[in-house]
Amino acid sequence: MSTRSRPQWMRTTLVALALGFVAILGYARDATTDLQKKFDAIVERLDKAEKEFAKTFEDAKDDDERDALREKRPGEEFIPDFQAFAREAKGNDLAAKAWMKVAGISADFGRKADALEAVDTLLSDYAKSPSIENLPGLISRNLNRFLGKEKTDAALRTLIEKSPHKNVVAPALFSCASTIMGDKKASPERIAEARAMMERLQKEFPDVKPARGASYAAMAEGVLFEIDNLQIGKVAPDFETIDENGVKFKLSDYRGKVVVLDFWGMW
């Protein structure tokens, strides 16, 4: 049926539907724009406060003044603002960004209840968001003291299972495997699981990198070397070095003797 052959009522209805659809799209765009402006405004206020604090801290006369200033550092007062925004923007990816702010700031200021609420919400409602790239590291380094071993492990596994984004899964895999390796009571089965995670990193995520440093696959290679060679009961890898007199020697030269290796460095 051509447009001309359609009854007038049908043409009118189609036009009305089309206009309504356009209006809905316009409203959705306006709503998202308004949310973005609100979020940016909170972030801008936080950034301004942090910059002003950094300048004041830099101008401090002595350590006593700096110690006093540390107690007044900005950030904690913005938690309610980000929480309120996150609830308002529920379902929007901007809410995920706001909960990430809550999690990070709460970790810095020891706000356990706020930190746990943020993590629980991110895992349950925003595990597939592309904006939680830093969550695996935040969980394993900053929030693990609130979560404990079991919940830290469960949180990282949730991200591994649910996230479709390589830059989320890769750090979650590395953090989960590293947590297992850091557990002195880890069973052989758990160590084997950590190995499998590191091997998966090498196979599936060879090019994924954190903001700084080597790729996760390259770091996984180091962990695999540790699993295979640096466990109790293993023969220490041989190496050659030079003593204080410039004489070369190998670790294997002292096989059968008690040897103390002291590793140190300056960064």
C-alpha 224: how far from chain center: 22
Distance CA 101, CA 121 (A): 13
Of the pLDDT bands very low, low, confident and very high (cuts 50, 70, 90), residue 7 is: low
- Whether the CB-CB separation of 99 and 122 falls below 8 Å is answered with yes
- Identify the pLDDT of residue 11: 61
pTM over 0.85: no
- What is the Cα 121 distance to its own chain's centre? 15
Q: What is the mean pLDDT of residues 139-148?
A: 94
Asked if 157 contacts 140 with a C-beta cutoff of 8 angstroms, the reply is no
Which residue type does 244 have?
Answer: E
Q: Flag whether pLDDT at 220 surpasses 70.
A: yes
pLDDT reported for residue 27: 45
Mean pLDDT of 140-161: 94
The per-residue pLDDT for 20 is: 55
% of residues, the chain, pLDDT over 90: 60
DSSP reduced 3-state for 240 = strand
The phi, psi pair for 198, rounded to 5°, reads -65, -35
State the chain's mean pLDDT as an integer: 88
pLDDT at 22 over 50: no
